[in-house]
């Protein structure tokens, strides 16, 4: 059964000391929000979580951003304010991950043996 072939949309922000990522739902909603701030932030982001990649760009391993890292980069540890700054100044990126095939029930043993 194919898995993990969903499109992924994110905003990448290259900061002075760290690289940040916020996942968003759609480029059109993001662009509308950039023009009209009356659109709720909850309609734009796909979860209120900021990730850091430890200077490894948009493809690095993502960890949750600590309040200290946010305060150093943005001058505040308020995540809503930091998300807004990332969405305002970041670069939109979209990708579709490669489809992969996994066993659906590993308790049945390896696929293709004895079946």
Q: What is the pLDDT, as a whole number, of residue 23?
A: 93
Contact 87, 34 (CB under 8 A): yes
Fold of the domain built from segment(s) 9-94: 3.30.1250
Q: What is the pLDDT, as a whole number, of residue 1?
A: 45
Q: What is the pLDDT, as a whole number, of residue 51?
A: 94
If phi over 0 gives left and psi between -120 and 50 gives alpha, with beta otherwise, what is residue 109?
A: left
pLDDT along the chain (115 residues), means of 10: 66 92 91 92 92 83 92 94 95 73 62 56
If phi over 0 gives left and psi between -120 and 50 gives alpha, with beta otherwise, what is residue 43?
A: alpha
Contact 95, 59 (CB under 8 A): no
Q: What is the pLDDT, as a whole number, of residue 106?
A: 62
Q: What is the pLDDT, as a whole number, of residue 56?
A: 78
């Amino acid at each position: 059964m194919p898995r993990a072939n969903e499109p992924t949309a994110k905003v990448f922000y290259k900061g002075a000391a760290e690289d940040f990522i916020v996942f968003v739902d759609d480029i059109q909603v993001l662009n509308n929000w950039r023009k009209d701030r009356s659109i709720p932030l909850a309609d734009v982001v796909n979860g209120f979580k900021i990730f850091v990649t430890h200077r490894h760009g948009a493809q690095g391993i993502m960890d949750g951003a600590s309040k200290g890292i946010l305060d150093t980069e943005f001058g505040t540890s308020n995540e809503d304010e930091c998300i807004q700054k990332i969405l305002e100044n970041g670069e939109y990126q979209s990708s579709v991950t490669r489809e992969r095939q996994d066993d659906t029930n590993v308790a049945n043993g390896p696929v293709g043996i004895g079946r």
